[in-house]
Amino acid sequence: MPKIPQPPLDEVDRSIVRVLAQNARIANNALADEVGVAASTCLARVRSLRDRGVIRGFQADVDLSALGMPLQAMISVRLRAHTREQNESFRSVAPGLPGVLEVFHMAGSDDYLLHVAVADSDALRDFVVDHLTTHPAVGQTQTNLIFERMAGSRFPEPGR
């Protein structure tokens, strides 16, 4: 996903993004009303925002419990060695491992942080054993259960 230039966002663009960040399925004309432009203008703006990569996509927020994966965990991963090759080999597979929601490449002593969802603690152990500790680039891992995940703002504004 190339980073296309950066014509900075004007107020209308920011409003569009703010609304879509919270309600991605709003009809185009309702969105146009909300941000105060014509429907056709709004359509073009949204298209442009997508083309420029400001809006990457639209996603449904799903209750993972309802999908049978009620348990979440945060797994710190430390690589055996911090070479470019090891990083590349881990980063290329991590996001696709089953149940992985997010992968963070960290600046601290732990190289990666994996946010995962699993069916139960057995599945969690299997995940760690089958996909992490057996991966040649992985040194140590540490697993921490998540009691609860709360969503913050999806359209962060500079804190004053």
Partner DNA sequence: CGTGAAAATCTAGAAAA
Partner DNA sequence: TTTTCTAGATTTTCACG
CB burial string 50-61: b at 16+ within 10 A, e below: eeeebbeeeeee
**Which of the choices a second copy, DNA, none does residue 131 contact, using the CB cut-off of 5 to 8 A by kind?**
a second copy
Contact residue for a second copy among 84, 85, 136, 151 (CB under 8 A) = 151
Kindly state whether residue 146 participates in binding a second copy, applying the rule CB under 8 A. Answer: yes
d(CA 140, CA 132): 9
Alpha carbons 71 and 90: distance in angstroms, whole number: 24
CA distances from residue 69 to 25, 36, 57, 60, 118 in whole angstroms, order as listed: 25, 41, 24, 16, 5
Nearer to a second copy, 61 or 85 (CB): 61
Is 134 a binding residue for a second copy by CB under 8 A? The answer is no
Contacted by 24, from a second copy, DNA, none: CB < 5 to 8 Å by type: a second copy
Residues between 28 and 87 with contacts to a second copy, criterion CB under 8 A = 52-69, 74
By CB under 8 A, tell whether 150 contacts a second copy. yes
Query: CA 11, CA 23: separation in Å to the nearest integer?
Result: 18
Question: Choosing among DNA, a second copy, none, which partner's interface includes residue 40 (Cβ < 5 to 8 Å by kind)?
Answer: DNA
Binding interface with DNA (CB under 7 A) = 12, 27-30, 37-41, 43-45
